[in-house]
Amino acid sequence: MAPHAQTGSGRLSRGLLLLWALLGTGLCHAGAEVEGFSQDARTSPPVAVLNWTAQLMEETYTNFTQKCWELFVDLMRNVTVSELCEWKVISRPYSFLRTCLEGWADHLRYGYPNALAEQYIFQSHHRYFHNCTLEHQGYFDPPEDVLLAMIIAPICLIPFLVTLVIWRSKDGKAQP
């Protein structure tokens, strides 16, 4: 599980970078007085900070999805070309990719599905699974003798049923 150790140290570095950025921009100075803003205006962050935070979250999610993709590619190296279309073989790496993309989106509250995650899913299909076809053959007509029997049986049955209904209705007795 070496990739998770790298992710943890990267998370610490990003956290320190975020803290440094917040301290550097003056957002973390609790005692600082902002001119031109009332107390109510200071409680909600300005729009520019929200955009910066969204940009940082998108960049962070992009970095994590790249790691998810790299791990998926690494897992797919163990799959031979003849096994690429066998779900039993590819379900683990494919499910890992989907779970990783969805998990980081949930963790960062980024929203899933999203365009970046869909791009990686499409990329996986284009790169690995584009030659997979349905293993089952399409539907074919039955053999000619079976087809002939299926057509003629109802046609012959209809005159017999009409005759039976007419014969029973001529009896004249009331049916219970």
Residue 22 has pLDDT above 90, yes or no: no
Query: What is the pLDDT at residue 137?
Result: 56
Element spanning 24, H or E: helix 2-25
Please give the biggest Cα pair distance in the chain: 106
Q: Quick: pLDDT tens for 93-134.
A: 999 999 999 999 998 888 888 999 999 999 999 999 888 866
Taking the C-alpha atoms of residue 151 and residue 144, their distance in angstroms, rounded to an integer, is: 11
- DSSP-derived letter for residue 97 is H
Write the pLDDT tens digit of every residue in 45-95: 444 444 558 888 889 999 999 999 999 999 999 999 888 888 899 999 999
- Determine contact, residues 132/84, Cβ cutoff 8 Å: yes
Confidence band (pLDDT; 50, 70, 90) for 14? low
Length of the chain: 176
Return the amino acid letter for 87.
Answer: W
What domains appear along the chain, each with residue ranges and CATH number?
A: 58-130 (1.10.150.510)
